[in-house]
Amino acid sequence: MINFLNTAAQMVAAKSTISPDQKDLGAGTVASVVITGIVVVFIGLVLLILLVSIYGKIFDVINGRAARKAEEAKKAAEAAKAVAKPEPIKAAAPVVEDGIEEETVAVIMAAISAMSSAEGKKLVLKSVKTAKSQRPAWSTAGIIDNTRPF
């Protein structure tokens, strides 16, 4: 293989230019062009591999620093949380408008309780009122009809 490369290099050195009127190229010229192309492609690939691996190491260092800062902040938050525990809030009975059944209020409170346990927050029901409609039914139907997509 090395002898072939040396031979190809000698041929290229001997006749380095190809004239436009030359239609039949010699085997040495074709071999040198092919080998040069393959070598250039593989050098480019090796350089790309090195560049990507260097970028990977740089971003690993940056992510490591961010992870350490997040861990330190988490430890500080846990320490602050352990020191100052707030007292539980005692919820007052919600103000219920006349005409709303107790079962409806119980269902609303159960839904709020389920939402607060999922989020990890304590939500409190302060009052229950009937909702007033924003628009008449005919107005809402007209808006829906006029804004329907084509």
User: pLDDT digit string (tens) for 17-45?
Assistant: 666 666 677 888 889 999 999 999 999 99
- Tokens 């939500």 — which residue? 123
Q: Is the pLDDT of residue 137 over 70?
A: yes
Residue ranges of E strands in 2-128 = 95-96, 127-128
CA distances to 44, 70, 92, 143 from 88, in Å: 65, 28, 13, 47
Query: What confidence score (pLDDT) does residue 30 get?
Result: 87
Query: What confidence score (pLDDT) does residue 77 get?
Result: 83
Query: What confidence score (pLDDT) does residue 86 get?
Result: 56
For residues 102 and 52, the model is more confident at 52
d(CA 35, CA 30): 9
What is the pTM assigned to this prediction?
0.35
